[in-house]
Amino acid sequence: MVMVNLIVILLIGGLLAILSERISDTMPRKVAMAVVLADLLYLLICLSGMPEITQLQAPVANDPSTWLMHFKADWIPAFGISIELALDGISLLMVLLTLVLGAIAISASWTDIVVRKGFFEANLLWSLAGVLGVFMALDLMLFFLFWEVMLIPMYFMIAIWGHENRGYAAMKFFIFTQASGLLMLISILALVAVNHSGTGIWTFSYFDLLNTEMAERTAHWIMLGFFIAFVVKLPGFPFHTWLPDAHTQAPTAGSVILAGILLKTGAYGLIRFAVPLFPEAALNFSYPAMLLGAAGVVYGAVLAFGQTDFKRLIAYSSVSHMGFVLLGIYAWNELALQGAVMQMVAHGFSTAALFMIAGSLQERLHTRDMREMSGLWQQMPRMGAVAMFFVVASLGLPGLGNFVAEFLVLLGLFQINVWITVVAATGLITGAAYSLLLMQRSFQGEVNKKWANYGLIDFGSREMLTMAVMMIALIVLGIYPQPVLDAAQPVLQSLLELTASPTVDVVEVAQ
């Protein structure tokens, strides 16, 4: 019930946010913040009451009773569809990330949104609710429902409060994700149908579908449906082109949620569904998948380097970073998977922060074009310093979360395929190139006279507080990532055992 409550609180919170606009103009954001923090607090209280949380027990992937939480209620029994939610270490990490970044996104929207604030905060909360659902739903239909529905508030956030080209961006975002979602729907139904024809039972439950027997070819095609849907969301090369537009045009809070959380649903889906449901098909497909990952790493980095739009650059950097996640997942060993999970968390913070900085700049300068910036450190040293921190985080400075992630991915990947590792590792170089270019063009360089008398205001205490949360998070992840790793470890372990199959050849490391 806890999990249902988590979602319901956010849904109701959204309505409250709309209503609260009638009380005062500034009320919605306060309500939204209160709701998210209350949700977070509620989760933490519930967790602290559970004995398992101190020692996350190893969940058996296909036995829900071993999971941290499990909830099941009938929904459409005619098709064996139920409201089944469950929580294990990875879900928990993602849920926590969602709520924390949700609060951060609300903080980002504090002064950014000037019209229809109530509706904005409502959309924000609803999209968070959808994401929570995605991370907790273990009934495939329910998962699909959340997967699709979370996009609608996101669509509105881009379409209503976005920037100059919002219509195009929102449309592109929606069509990409929906079209791929349809493929996933077909895959889900096909999987269920295969299971139905084998067992005679209609069920959409993850736990029941885990060991569905099917022909290799069938598995391959069904798996591809899932794969494409998740990779579009990730986004992986070459399905990424919606992302730069959506990120660039979204309002700051939207970008934070998009980059910080929404992309992670794709990675989560791969780990939770695409591979475990079709272990052989997925792992036979690992080579192309890893190639796509490596291509994403390189391509994203090169394109990021060519951008002049602050947010677009960060968007492409996300493409590059999420390429590591794809690599990590399809290397499918504990090191790489831990790296992927770590990257999901760390990238969430580092990119969210960069988008907030971009948003703050846009709010102050009314442009995102880096050619018009330059030398902003002079007037906004605090913002500059913060930006520097997150830039070096994003280029993978050891001691910060992203490094741990990328290194683990590479380490795991190296055991699977040396040459892809080498290609991916060039991402460290190109990553540094665009990251530093970003810094150079915006905060460093000759002071642009244009802004001299513009009365630019440096980060205030609210912004610094928000940033501090993320900075501390990244530092902690960077030098003591063990809690995150421990949370994910048992889950990954059981997934690995589940998918361990003699037919899957592990490519020997080249001598």
Instruction: Choose between 206 and 242: whose C-beta lies nearer to another protein.
Output: 242
Identify residues 319-358 at the interface with another protein (CB under 8 A): 333-335, 338
Query: Cα(375)–Cα(378) distance, rounded to whole angstroms?
Result: 6
Q: Name the residue nearer to another protein (CB basis): 239 or 349.
A: 239
Report the residue number, 69 or 222, with the smaller CB distance to another protein. 222
Q: Which is nearer to another protein, 40 or 245 (CB)?
A: 245
Rounded least distance, CB 52 to another protein, Å: 20
If the CB atoms of residues 40 and 323 are measured against another protein, the closer one turns out to be 323
445 binds another protein (CB under 8 A): yes
Q: What are φ and ψ of residue 309, in 5° steps?
A: -90, 125
d(CA 234, CA 265): 7
In 3D, which of 233, 241, 240, 244 has the Cα closest to residue 368? 244
Angle at the Cα of 131 from the Cα atoms of 130 and 135, rounded to 5 degrees: 120
- Of 261 and 336, nearer to another protein (C-beta) is 336
Please report, as residue ranges, which positions from 240 to 259 form the binding site for another protein (by CB under 8 A).
Answer: 240-241, 244
* The one among 182, 201, 472, 507 contacting another protein by CB under 8 A: 182
CB-wise, 8 or 479, nearer to another protein? 479
The count of C-alpha atoms lying within 13 angstroms of the C-alpha of 427, restricted to the half-sphere facing its C-beta, is: 34
Q: Contacts with another protein: how many residues (CB under 8 A)?
A: 88
Subset of residues 64 to 83 that bind another protein, contact rule: CB under 8 A: 74-79
Shortest reach from residue 37's CB to another protein, in Å: 25
The closest alpha carbon to 250, from 369, 159, 312, 178, belongs to 159
Minimum distance from CB of 398 to another protein (Å)? 4
184 binds another protein (CB under 8 A): no
Residue linked to tokens 């190893």: 58
**453 burial level (CB within 10 Å; 0-12, 13-18, 19+):** exposed
Q: Which residues of 291-315 are buried (b: 16+ CB within 10 A; e: fewer)?
A: bbbbbbbbbbbebbbebebbbbbbb
CB nearer another protein, residue 38 or residue 418: 418
Helices 151-161 and 140-149: crossing angle in degrees, nearest 10, is 0
Query: Hey, what are 118's tokens?
Result: 């109530």
Is 110 or 414 the residue whose CB approaches another protein more closely? 414
CB 401 within 8 A of CB 473: yes
- Binding-residue pattern over the window 467 to 486 for another protein, x denoting contact by CB under 8 A: ------------xxxx--x-
Stretch that binds another protein, among 102-110, 320-328, 349-357, 394-402 (CB under 8 A): 394-402
Return the residues of window 140-159 that contact another protein according to CB under 8 A: 144-145, 148-149, 152, 155-156, 159
Nearest approach, Cβ of residue 97 and another protein (Å): 18
What distance separates the 2 farthest-apart alpha carbons in the chain? 74
In this chain, which of 4, 60, 291, 437 binds another protein, going by CB under 8 A?
437
Q: Does the footprint of another protein cover residue 215 (CB under 8 A)?
A: no
Q: Any contact of residue 399 with another protein (CB under 8 A)?
A: yes
- Min. distance of Cβ 292 from another protein in angstroms? 12
Query: Given candidates 34, 210, 436, 476, which one binds another protein under the rule CB under 8 A?
Result: 436
Binding map of another protein across residues 93-122, x = CB under 8 A, - = no contact: ----------------------xx------
Question: Does residue 407 touch another protein according to CB under 8 A?
Answer: yes
| Binding piece for another protein, criterion CB under 8 A, among 6-14, 101-109, 208-216, 376-384 | 376-384
Closest CA to 293 of 317, 325, 332: 325
Nearer to another protein, 275 or 303 (CB): 303
Please tell me whether residue 307 binds another protein under the rule CB under 8 A.
yes
User: Which of 109, 402, 421, 494 is in the footprint of another protein by CB under 8 A?
Assistant: 421
How far apart (Å, rounded) are the C-alpha atoms in residues 219 and 187? 10
**Residues across the chain:** 511
- By the rule CB under 8 A, 415 interacts with another protein: yes
Residue 305 · residue 430 · CB < 8 Å:
yes
Per rule CB under 8 A, is residue 465 in the interface with another protein? Answer: no
How far apart (Å, rounded) are the C-alpha atoms in residues 429 and 452?
Answer: 34
Least Å from the CB of residue 49 to another protein: 28
Residue from 46, 183, 423, 504 touching another protein (CB under 8 A): that is: 183
Q: Which of positions 261-300 make contact with another protein (CB under 8 A)? A: 299
Residue 388 as a binder of another protein (CB under 8 A): the answer is yes
Among the listed residues 31, 124, 154, 404, the single contact to another protein using CB under 8 A: 404
Instruction: Single out the residue of 12, 429, 457, 500 in contact with another protein (rule: CB under 8 A).
Output: 429
105 close to 257: Cβ distance less than 8 angstroms: yes
Give the torsion sign (CA, 211, 217, 220, 224): negative
46 binds another protein (CB under 8 A): no
Any contact of residue 186 with another protein (CB under 8 A)? yes
From CA 160, how far away is CA 115, in angstroms rounded?
9
DSSP character at residue 73: E
**DSSP assignment of 189-232:** HHHHHHHHHHHS----BHHHHTT----HHHHHHHHHHHHHHHHH
The amino acid sitting at 187 is S
Q: What is the dihedral sign for C-alpha 165, 368, 438, 262?
A: negative
**Could you identify the residue written with the tokens 């001598």?**
511
CB 249 within 8 A of CB 164: yes
